[in-house]
Amino acid sequence: MIQQERHERILSKLSLNGRVVVSELSDEFGVTRDCIRKDLAQLEKNGDLKRVHGGAIQTRSNPRTLLVSDRLTLNVEAKKEIAKKAVDLIEDGDVIFLDISTTNIEIAKLLIERKRPLTVVTNMIDIMILLSQCPDIKTIMIGGQLGRSPDGFTGSLAISQIMKFHFDKAFVGTVGVNSQTDQVYTYDVDDGLTKESIIRNADQAYLVMESIKYQQDGNYVFATMSDFREIITE
């Protein structure tokens, strides 16, 4: 097994379990413990983990990037890969919800490209503007009070409208996930309450997120991982 593949698998295990053990990795990968220690040292140097006695633990951060404009250029290729997987789950005629998420912008772009005949409900202004260019897609905009970041509508007025819908599928973004505590985060209470209402009114709710968000936290827990049918990452 080449070094890059070991690094990818170590980080994958770290995302799922929160920690890795040198002896277990050595046995699983069929390499020496010194080799694993060098792998962990390199990954720590890259900022991907923190070494502890006998292994390593996940590093976590809270970047607090509230504005969509600050997130649009981050992890673009990962978001496009997530969008492809998400769109493959959507069937013609579905009524879906796309919430305030830069990954959902990529989903909207792909839906336009593929000219899928369906209904999209959204509370995100950028998505509404994009979909207005595509007559094949029926678009419904949820209104109300602008959120803490002026990218869409959240809070009680938006929730009252969402509660009147039944969605076949909903795609919900997040700022971070802690797989050890089963918590899914956003930054703002109103945004979190709005996401909760979206999940409740969907037959199938999907969490769309780059894998780096397994290492990030927010300030408000709006769901648990088990609330979602699937978590879609790159």
| Distance, CA of 68 to chain centre | 14
pLDDT for 11 = 85
Q: What is the pTM of this model?
A: 0.78
**Architecture (CATH level 2) of domain 3-58:** Orthogonal Bundle (1.10)
* pLDDT (tens digit per residue) in 28-50: 999 999 999 999 999 888 888 88
pLDDT for 148 = 75
* pLDDT (tens digit per residue) in 190-215: 999 999 999 999 999 999 999 888 88
* pLDDT (tens digit per residue) in 170-196: 999 999 998 888 999 999 999 999 999
Give yes or no for residue 57 having a pLDDT over 90.
no
Give yes or no for residue 61 having a pLDDT over 90.
no
**Architecture (CATH level 2) of domain 68-232:** 3-Layer(aba) Sandwich (3.40)
pLDDT for 149 = 74
Average pLDDT, the chain: 91
pLDDT for 179 = 84
pLDDT for 92 = 94
DSSP per-residue letters across 165-220: --EEEEEE--SEEETTTTEEEES-HHHHHHHHHHHHTEEEEEEE--GGGGGB--SE
* pLDDT (tens digit per residue) in 104-156: 999 999 999 998 899 999 999 999 999 998 999 999 999 999 877 789 999 99
pLDDT for 72 = 63
Report domain extents, the chain: 3-58, 68-232
**β-strands 145-146, 137-141: how paired?**
unpaired
